[in-house]
Structure 1
Amino acid sequence: MRDAEMANDLQSDGLDLRVSLFSDLRVSKCGLDFEHQAQNEGFRFVAGVDEVGRGCLAGPVVAAACVLDPAKALPKGLNDSKKLTAKRREEIAAELKELVVGYSIARIEAEIIDEINILEATKKAMYLAIANLQPQADFLLIDALQLKQIFLPQKAIIKGDAISASIAAASILAKTYRDELMREYDHTYPQYGFSSHVGYGTKIHLDALRLFGHCPLHRKTFRGVL
């Protein structure tokens, strides 16, 4: 098993842990192509990492890290969370929680997003999700971003949530967690309609902001909030 200690050894030898181990794959559907390549290189716990909520005007940015069990069948319809209905996301999330080797979810609140900016907050949420993952990942598949402060072998995949099952699983776990959180916030701040738009900048949300002003959940550095 390759673990963080081995990753640190590789770093000390001057190797770039973010150099791809993969040949150029022509992947057109969500599956385990990337995961299998990493496992063929000797990695055991390959974690998919993704976030949700970057573009919202209110609420946290949420990240999830997820290690799938290669011996178990993927949930039917597993794909980018944005391509699924809310009902199907909930169904797949429930299935994933029963069959994954491990998963972790982390969030960064609006106040911190305003302090450090949304990109850094997104990375921070990912760092926390990875750090809390059990078992510890020894290879990362990340949707679009490279996490340079984590010294683990990793591959950033553009639109990875559409072609990597692990990243898709992370996106669904993060999305369902965040949506439920925003529905809970709707009870505290019912005037904004959080249960319907979960913090995105819809007309209903923007109209509510103009009428009621912002609340503690809003990201004050985002256009349209102030």
Structure 2
Amino acid sequence: MTTPDFELEMGLIAQGYKRVAGVDEVGRGPLAGPVVAAAVILDPRDIPEGLNDSKKLAPSRRFLLDDQLRSRSKFAIAEATVAEIDDLNILRASHLAMKRAIGALSPNPDYVLIDGNLIPLDLELPAQAVVKGDTRSVSIAAASILAKNWRDQLMVDLAQQHPGYGWETNAGYPSKYHKEALQNLGVTPHHRRSFKPVHNILYQE
């Protein structure tokens, strides 16, 4: 199993890019809630141990690394709303969240490593798309951790306003419980109307 490292970043730093940011998003697949992106510039001399793809980390480890990243890196977290997801489509909305996170980073990065195979349109910075980036680059892995923890907590908060969908455990993903609740309780303002299971319930007639 490969673990992410700092080699991509070191190569770019050697080319003269001082601030290389890793960018990742979380929440393309859920039926409810926003899509969330994070952008992270790690300090090459102070990289937290054990950074990895957020999906491969136990929650306790993720929370510990989240704390360390908040105190030891430069980062920004941004969202694209359910309305934006329905308006643009999920890919464009996730890229919008990425651009917002990159734009909110201070100091500004001068190069970005984007998880995936596409660079967001109109990104005015040098960038590289990195397939499976959260398993290759510690900066992208760091972004995946911050984005996932932020979004999971957001869904726990929304679950208190809209109980019965199980968002505190399924984070809005289409679990069996969530899909049954959609049938029984109906659609909330936080559901993505462009997603098929939600759309089908709204337009059953």
For the superposition of Structure 1 and Structure 2, which TM-score range results when normalised by the shorter chain? Answer: over 0.9
**TM superposition outliers: structure 1 runs of 4+ over 4 Å:** none
Instruction: Give percent identity, aligned residues only.
Output: 46
- Cα deviation, 1:84-131, whole Å, max 9, x if unaligned, reads 11221111101111111x100100111111111111101110111111
* C-alpha distance in structure 1 between counterparts of 2:41 and 2:11, whole Å: 15
**Equivalent residue in structure 1 for 2:24, among 47, 50, 69:** 50
Instruction: Determine helix, strand or coil for the equivalent of 2:128.
Output: strand
How far apart are 1:192 and its partner, in Å?
0.9
How far apart are 1:190 and its partner, in Å?
0.8
- Cα deviation, 1:170-219, whole Å, max 9, x if unaligned, reads 00000000001000011100111110101000011011001111100100
Q: 1:114 maps to which residue? A: 86
Aligned residue pair count: 198
1:124 maps to amino acid: L
How far apart are 1:29 and its partner, in Å?
2.4
Indicate if the aligned counterparts of 2:115 and 2:140 stay in contact, CA closer than 8 A: yes
Can you give the 5+ residue segments of structure 2 that lack an aligned partner in the other structure?
A: none
Q: 1:155 maps to which residue? A: 128
Q: 1:191 maps to which residue? A: 164
* C-alpha distance in structure 2 between counterparts of 1:211 and 1:133, whole Å: 42
Q: 2:8 maps to which residue? A: 34
Q: 1:209 maps to which residue? A: 182
Question: What are the within-5 Å matches in structure 2 for residues 94-109 of structure 1?
Answer: 94-100=67-73, 102-109=74-81
- Cα deviation, 1:36-86, whole Å, max 9, x if unaligned, reads 0010000001000000000110000000100000011x3232100011112
Indicate if the aligned counterparts of 2:76 and 2:104 stay in contact, CA closer than 8 A: yes
Q: 1:4 maps to which residue? A: none
Indicate if the aligned counterparts of 2:96 and 2:120 stay in contact, CA closer than 8 A: no
